[in-house]
């Protein structure tokens, strides 16, 4: 079904305004101290002659008598070139040459937004070329890092430029399609935020504009073109290059990232065979890194610096001996270490979904994943996720299954999996599965969720569904139960349910339905 772009932009305006206000603040504060700290603002010629606005910070006392490891920082989507100045100064004080640049198509840099396509990879290599020619950078010790858009470009650049020895990709993506079109469902609020920020702070290329329009239009004729476009811009497509180069890769993301879900980062991490580290924390897109951009002590940036200190400066700081998967629960403080992603949910507990349920489509039952950025930030700061009163959810529009009450706390870690049999009355449709932590009064706190869309099915014909929910770390208190809720409308996503559609969930004797919940090993 088509979408009203005016409505989408209205939905996105709050989040975009917050992003650009933050960007403006970042532009003001670091610039005021730039002259005092010896920051140089330069123009770098990127791919095809495109001018990239950049800044350079070198270690104090650098006189050309020695070289230093180089860190290249591409900016985030919609942010100005001074985004990283505070962290750049900290890195320079630790002995790095740091060059950050505004990616093509945004702010004062030339060119048009290509969404991390080949021109963006080539730009990164041009910035490295310039840095080696104009700064005391060591060609054998080059790293890249970035937040969000800068993270994706850093990974892609490292895959196409063997000179990059280490990467810190913070709140980025590995599979662009899985991130914003998971299970054939458009993450429409996330796309609207990116689109609006691109139009406000940059210049979209005709191809980029067409991609957004096709994405909103839900034109299945264009689907494969969109998938191919996204795969070209996905680090997962070129993962073998990182393995061949033995690039040291740090991946960090938030459990509640409404732009780039954690699942695709975890899958990508498992494919890497070189030095690697995976970190997940509470929060939404880039919210864990944001305080560090203002100089506030920050775990993400501390670990980024430790990563580069070891793999570019050779420091024996122990980062290579720590458990490579580091998780922080949404419910408690402190980190948990695991040897690999598979060990995170080592124990699994199933609860059966034996009772059949039929729901009507096109009405929001009251269960939803929240609002892009805002809901997960609230969860990060106050530990209050989106909530629903489960006993009052209307069963005409929502299917509900509940577990027994658990006598002890259940430490949910990793990716819950829904297995069921679905019979739709229409050829296309969408449902969203939500997992809630339900207290004694019936108030459900959202643990995780995920959408699923299908097309070209025979009405009335059943088919099996295996849907991984978004990975998370959440502690269900003793005396609570888990509830699986399924409905058909969520403001975060585009739904494809024709008018009058009904969905029936059943549990055949030879293929029973269940929810498999990953638990931390006791």
Q: How many Cβ atoms sit within 10 Å of the Cβ of residue 10? A: 12
Q: What is residue 26's predicted lDDT score, i.e. its pLDDT?
A: 43
- Confidence (pLDDT) at 37: 52
Per cent of the chain over pLDDT 90 is 87
Return the CA Rg of the chain.
23
DSSP element (H, E) containing 97: strand 97-101
Cβ atoms of residues 101 and 127 within 8 Å: yes
Indicate if the pLDDT at residue 388 is higher than 50: yes
pLDDT of 309 reads 98
Residue pair 428/374 in contact by the 8 Å Cβ criterion: no
pLDDT reported for residue 377: 83
SS3 360: strand
Three-state secondary structure call for residue 126: helix
Nearest Cα to Cα of residue 341 among 451, 234, 419, 263: 263
Confidence of residue 248 (pLDDT cuts 50, 70, 90): very high
Would the pLDDT of 522 be above 90? Answer: no
What pLDDT is attached to residue 22? 39
Asked if the model's pLDDT at residue 122 lies above 70, the reply is yes
Average pLDDT over residues 477-489: 98
pLDDT beyond 60 at 28: no
User: 145 pLDDT exceeds 50?
Assistant: yes
- pLDDT tens digits, 306-318: 999 999 999 999 9
Query: Which pLDDT score is estimated for 7?
Result: 43
* pLDDT at residue 1 tops 90: no
Q: How far apart are CA 322 and CA 73, in angstroms?
A: 26
List of long-range contacts for 320-325, beta carbons under 8 Å, 24+ apart: 320/275, 322/277, 324/276, 324/277, 324/278, 325/269, 325/277, 325/278, 325/279
Confirm if 337 and 303 have CB atoms less than 8 A apart: no
Tell me the average pLDDT across 233-240. Answer: 98
Give the CA distances from residue 71 to residues 27, 138, 165, 166, 392, in Å, rounded to whole numbers and listed in that order: 20, 10, 10, 9, 54
pLDDT at 5: 41
Give the model's pLDDT for residue 25: 37
Dist. CA 106–CA 37, nearest whole Å: 25
Mean of per-residue pLDDT scores for the chain: 92
- The DSSP element (H or E) to which 430 belongs, if any, is strand 429-438
pLDDT digits (tens, 9 = 90+) for 173-214: 999 999 999 999 999 999 999 999 999 999 999 999 999 999
Average of per-residue pLDDT across 254-266: 94
**Total number of residues shown for the chain:** 522
Q: Return the H-helix or E-strand segment holding 164.
A: strand 164-170
Short-list 422, 517, 495, CA closest to 465: 422
> What is this structure's pTM?
0.92
- Average confidence (pLDDT) over 380-407: 94
Q: Do 425 and 442 contact (CB within 8 A), yes or no?
A: no
pLDDT at 521 (0 to 100): 80
Q: What is the DSSP letter of 441?
A: T
- Is the pLDDT at 9 greater than 70? The verdict is no
pLDDT tens figures, 319-365: 999 999 999 999 998 999 999 999 999 899 999 999 999 999 999 99
Position 63 scores a pLDDT of: 84
User: How far, in Å, CA of 233 to CA of 229, rounded?
Assistant: 7
Q: How far is CA 311 from CA 273, 279, 317, 354, in A?
A: 16, 17, 10, 52
In this predicted structure, the answer to whether residue 14 has a pLDDT above a threshold of 60 is no
pLDDT digits (tens, 9 = 90+) for 421-477: 999 999 999 999 999 999 999 999 999 999 999 999 999 999 999 999 999 999 999
CA 328 to CA 402: how far, in whole Å?
27
Evaluate if residue 24 carries a pLDDT over 80: no
**Joined tokens for residue 227:** 């998938």
Sign of CA dihedral 462, 464, 470, 474: positive
Angle between helices 188-201 and 206-217 (to 10 degrees): 150
Residue 18, pLDDT above cutoff 80 = no
Count the neighbouring beta carbons within 10 Å of the beta carbon of residue 65.
7
Does residue 88 have a pLDDT over 70?
Answer: yes
């Amino acid at each position: 079904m088509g979408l009203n772009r005016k409505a989408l932009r209205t939905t996105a305006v709050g989040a975009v305004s917050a992003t650009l206000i933050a960007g403006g603040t970042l532009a003001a504060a670091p610039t005021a101290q730039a002259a005092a700290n010896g920051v140089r603002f330069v123009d770098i010629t990127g791919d095809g002659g495109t001018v990239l606005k950049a800044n350079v910070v070198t270690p104090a006392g650098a006189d050309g008598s020695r070289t230093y490891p180089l860190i290249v920082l591409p900016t985030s989507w919609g942010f100005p070139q001074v985004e990283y100045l505070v962290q750049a100064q900290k890195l320079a004080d630790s002995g790095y040459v740091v060059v950050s640049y505004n990616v093509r198509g945004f702010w004062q840099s030339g060119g048009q937004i290509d969404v991390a396509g080949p021109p963006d990879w080539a730009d990164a290599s041009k910035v490295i070329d310039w840095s080696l020619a104009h700064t005391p950078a060591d060609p054998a010790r080059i790293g890249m890092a970035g937040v969000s858009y800068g993270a994706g470009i850093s990974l892609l650049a490292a895959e196409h430029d063997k000179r990059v020895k280490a990467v810190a990709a913070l709140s980025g993506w590995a599979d662009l399609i899985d991130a914003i079109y998971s299970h054939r469902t458009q993450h429409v609020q996330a796309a609207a935020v990116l689109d609006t920020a691109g139009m406000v702070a940059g210049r979209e290329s005709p191809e980029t504009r067409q991609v957004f329009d096709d994405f909103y239009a839900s034109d299945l004729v264009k689907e494969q073109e969109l998938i191919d476009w996204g795969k070209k811009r996905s680090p997962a497509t070129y993962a073998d290059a990182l393995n061949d180069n033995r690039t040291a890769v740090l991946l960090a993301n938030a459990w509640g990232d409404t732009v780039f879900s954690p699942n695709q980062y975890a899958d990508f991490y498992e494919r890497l065979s070189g030095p690697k580290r995976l970190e997940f924390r509470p929060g939404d897109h880039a919210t864990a890194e944001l305080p560090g951009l203002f100089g506030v002590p920050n775990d993400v940036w501390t670990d980024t610096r430790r990563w580069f200190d070891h793999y570019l400066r050779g420091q024996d700081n122990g980062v290579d001996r720590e458990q490579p998967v580091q998780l922080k629960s949404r419910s408690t403080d402190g980190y948990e270490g695991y040897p690999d992603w598979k060990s995170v949910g080592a124990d699994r507990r199933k609860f059966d979904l034996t009772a059949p349920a039929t729901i009507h489509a096109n009405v929001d039952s009251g269960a939803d994943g929240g609002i892009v950025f805002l809901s997960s930030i609230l969860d990060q700061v106050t530990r209050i996720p989106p909530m629903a009163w489960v006993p009052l959810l209307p069963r005409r529009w929502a299917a509900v299954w509940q577990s027994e009450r658990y006598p002890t706390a259940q430490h949910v870690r990793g990716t819950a999996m829904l297995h069921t049999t679905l019979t739709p009355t229409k050829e296309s449709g969408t449902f969203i599965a939500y997992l809630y932590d339900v207290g004694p009064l019936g108030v459900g706190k959202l643990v995780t969720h995920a959408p699923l869309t299908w097309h070209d099915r025979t009405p009335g014909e059943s088919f099996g569904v295996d849907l991984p929910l978004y990975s998370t770390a959440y502690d269900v208190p003793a005396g609570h139960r888990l509830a699986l809720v399924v409905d058909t409308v969520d403001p975060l996503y585009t739904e494809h349910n024709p008018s009058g559609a009904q969905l029936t969930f059943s549990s055949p004797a030879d293929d029973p339905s269940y929810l498999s919940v990953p638990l931390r090993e006791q």
